[in-house]
Amino acid sequence: MGAVGQVFDAIDDGLREFLVAQPVFFVATAPRTGGHVNVSPKGYADTFAVVGPRTVAYLDLTGSGVETIAHLRDDGRVTLMFCSFEHRPRIVRLYGTGRVCVPGDEDWADLSGRFGAHAGARAVVVVELERIADSCGYAVPRMDLVAERDVLERSHVKRGADGLVAYRTQRNVASIDGLPGLDAHHPG
């Protein structure tokens, strides 16, 4: 790693290693006009991938909302932020335009195959990067990872495929601002 506070042309091997090593990252989106800005934490070590030098993707799991998907379909703007909580401080932000790939889309099998199997997989978010930058992260606390939480995965398994479709139909059809999210009865 070089000096912090720089802008990168592409994700090189060192940057890739840093990104995939982080146990959590944050996704920020907003609707085109008005509405709520959303920031979502994402976890599970096998749900983020560097697809190319200026393309990343993550497996989007069923949750109580659908803000990121709705915002990407409305506007496309997205920022992913990765923080090091270990000895060496560092923050990396990936700015770009995102798109949503769902089961049934032409590239679903290729994209979803880059991640571990998760019962609640509902989409893959692909981000074409426009800016890749890091900063110091000197104020980010040092913390030790105890373990990944398995609560979400257990919940998805317990609901089963039909239960997940029903849940998504109830909770993931529209954002909190009323923007379209997932289609009703989405199979993902």
- Domains, the chain, with CATH or none: 7-171 (2.30.110.10)
Evaluate if residue 9 carries a pLDDT over 60.
yes
Q: For 100, phi and psi rounded to 5 degrees?
A: -110, 130
pLDDT tens for residues 47-72? 999 999 999 999 999 999 999 999 99
pLDDT tens for residues 95-129? 999 999 999 999 999 999 999 999 999 999 999 99
Nearest to 126 by CA among 153, 105, 148: 105
More confident residue, 184 or 174: 174
* The pTM of the whole model exceeds 0.85: yes
pLDDT of residue 183: 86
